[in-house]
A and B are shown apart, each in its own frame.
Chain A
Amino acid sequence: MFDFLTSGQYDVLGAFWVTVQLTLYSAVGSLIWGLMLAGMRVSPVPLMRTFGTTYVNVVRNTPLTLLVLGCSLGLDQTLGITLAGGDSKEIGFRLAILGLIAYTGTFVCEALRSGINTVPVGQAEAARALGLSFFQVLTLIVLPQAFRAVVGPLTNVLIALTKNTTVAATIGVAEAALLMKEMLENEADALFAVFGVFALGFVLLTLPTGLLLGWVAKRVAVKR
């Protein structure tokens, strides 16, 4: 029943390796972009606040498939923006990451913003009273505490991101879901076995993430 694993015809591990890479690059990018968005949404500059709010509300409510397809069809094929990717494989990989960052960043931003709300206003006041600038107050006092408060919610975002990387299959990135689609066509008699293998693969990726970050969340929690 699991012959397809040993036949050498399919590189399941290779496909999951692409999934892991998509996840890692997108996670780092989303964290940075989400931080910047959160910074904008709490900044004293009205223009930045407006941009942050509008961006989050538009992108968060757009289907990810649409964003990733838009990156491929709109950026690459229409505007010729290839993010310095060489062949179509590389271009697709990079554009998928761009789409995932654009989308996941909004969820990181909102998680961080709820974290910022857990930091008592007195913390920022005390920091301002010492003469720290807005940027210093944010990066030295508020965000470090906000981060510690939202390790749990950010873990959820990371798990969702891991699974969302399957959307990259729509633009032909050779990750797990694309291989699964191919195998489902070729190995129709072992339908549930194929499903099972890929489901297990994702659980193996996300379960340890959840457990590890759950432990981290407890460790770094700020005591008040």
Chain B
Amino acid sequence: MSGVSVTKDVQDAAGAADDLVVLSNVNKHFGALHVLQDIDLSIARGEVVVVIGPSGSGKSTLCRTINRLETIDSGTITLDGSPLPAEGKALARLRADVGMVFQSFNLFAHKTVLENVMLGQLKVRKTDQKAAREKAVALLDRVGVGSQADKYPAQLSGGQQQRVAIARALAMDPKVMLFDEPTSALDPEMINEVLEVMQQLAREGMTMVVVTHEMGFARSAANRVVFMADGKIVEEATPEQFFSNPRSDRAKDFLSKILHH
């Protein structure tokens, strides 16, 4: 894996055993478009990896392959040592351990905020009603939307909805959280409330893969920045290295376009 990981409990150089998510030689096509090209990426337990890059570079697709919302054409993805199952019950079990937060929130529109956070616990984890409710209330309080528990998603602001979505994912006690452009659909004044929740999660040691355009978040919360362009991982570095001294021309070009104004 890359030499720049700064995991909290690194064991030694052979610490590959502590890699939670490992993508190796992953390829995917959308028709003629080779959207993921020989992707190798390892994410250690407790590590926060931020994936950035221009639109259409494959970063969202990469994120979605990790819980197999997108299938891959070749290569392997392992989670906590075991390869991703292709389908069926085994895949559902794996997905329960991988939290996902979407750009468009995707809260269940016909269920209240509280029901959204309880559903996975009740139907997948088979938690009893009372325990599920207590946990949901606690999580909603934690992300700062406890007072909205009985409302429907459409009655909440985008920022509130996204925080509920984070709570919904956390209710499953995931091993890793995937964030697919979690702030891209938000009004500017709501972005920070979501990022703060994510910062807090990162501080608490959650393993996170975050696809985002928020460079501030990448700087402050990431252990490692992965820069993608045209379906390839072009550069991996610590945030300090990447933002102050990018190695590749593609990254320099990208940063010059987004940072100077």
Chain A residues with CB under 8 Å of chain B are 120, 122-123, 125-133, 136, 140-141, 144-145, 148, 222-224
Asked if A130 and B110 make an inter-chain contact with CB atoms under 8 angstroms apart, the answer reads no
Asked if B154 and A223 make an inter-chain contact with CB atoms under 8 angstroms apart, the answer reads yes
Asked if A122 and B104 make an inter-chain contact with CB atoms under 8 angstroms apart, the answer reads yes
Asked if B123 and A222 make an inter-chain contact with CB atoms under 8 angstroms apart, the answer reads no
A125 cross-chain contacts in B, Cβ below 8 A: 69, 102, 106
Given contacts A141-B108, A148-B110, A224-B109, contact A129 B98 (CB under 8 A): yes
12 of the cross-chain contacts (CB-CB < 8 Å) are A120-B104, A122-B104, A122-B106, A123-B108, A123-B109, A125-B102, A126-B107, A129-B98, A129-B169, A130-B168, A140-B119, A145-B110
- Closest CB of chain B to A69's CB: distance in Å? 42
* 8 Å CB contact of A132 from B69, B92, B155: B92
- Asked if B124 is at the interface (CB within 8 A of a chain A CB), the reply is yes
B93 cross-chain contacts in A, Cβ below 8 A: 131
- Closest CB of chain A to B181's CB: distance in Å? 13
Asked if B107 and A145 make an inter-chain contact with CB atoms under 8 angstroms apart, the answer reads no
B104 cross-chain contacts in A, Cβ below 8 A: 120, 122
Asked if B109 and A222 make an inter-chain contact with CB atoms under 8 angstroms apart, the answer reads yes
Asked if A128 and B95 make an inter-chain contact with CB atoms under 8 angstroms apart, the answer reads yes
User: What interface size band does chain B fall in?
Assistant: 20 to 34
Name A141's closest neighbour in chain B (CB-CB).
B108
Asked if A130 and B119 make an inter-chain contact with CB atoms under 8 angstroms apart, the answer reads yes
B94 cross-chain contacts in A, Cβ below 8 A: 131
**In the complex, A120→B103 CA distance in Å?**
13
A131 cross-chain contacts in B, Cβ below 8 A: 92-97, 120, 124, 172
**In the complex, A145→B97 CA distance in Å?**
26
**In the complex, A140→B168 CA distance in Å?**
16
Name B125's closest neighbour in chain A (CB-CB).
A131
A120 cross-chain contacts in B, Cβ below 8 A: 104, 106
- Asked if B8 is at the interface (CB within 8 A of a chain A CB), the reply is no
**In the complex, A120→B154 CA distance in Å?**
14
Beyond A129-B95, A130-B96, A223-B155, 18 additional pairs, beta carbon < 8 A? A120-B106, A122-B106, A125-B69, A125-B106, A126-B102, A126-B106, A126-B165, A128-B95, A129-B69, A129-B98, A130-B119, A131-B93, A131-B96, A132-B120, A140-B123, A145-B110, A148-B110, A222-B110
**In the complex, A223→B153 CA distance in Å?**
8
**In the complex, A122→B161 CA distance in Å?**
14
Query: At the interface, is chain A mostly helix, strand, loop or mixed?
Result: helix
A127 cross-chain contacts in B, Cβ below 8 A: 108
- Asked if B100 is at the interface (CB within 8 A of a chain A CB), the reply is yes
- Asked if B42 is at the interface (CB within 8 A of a chain A CB), the reply is no
- Give the one of A131, A133, A223 with max B CB within 10 A: A131
- Closest CB of chain B to A133's CB: distance in Å? 5
A141 cross-chain contacts in B, Cβ below 8 A: 108
Name B96's closest neighbour in chain A (CB-CB).
A131
- Asked if B152 is at the interface (CB within 8 A of a chain A CB), the reply is yes
- Give the one of B69, B109, B169 with max A CB within 10 A: B109
* 8 Å CB contact of B124 from A130, A222, A223: A130
Asked if A223 and B152 make an inter-chain contact with CB atoms under 8 angstroms apart, the answer reads yes
Asked if A223 and B109 make an inter-chain contact with CB atoms under 8 angstroms apart, the answer reads yes
B155 cross-chain contacts in A, Cβ below 8 A: 223
Contact flags B123-167 to A (C-beta < 8 A → 1, else 0): 110000000000000000000000000001011000000000100
- Asked if B260 is at the interface (CB within 8 A of a chain A CB), the reply is no
Contact flags B82-116 to A (C-beta < 8 A → 1, else 0): 00000001001111111110101011111000000
- Give the one of A129, A133, A141, A223 with max B CB within 10 A: A129
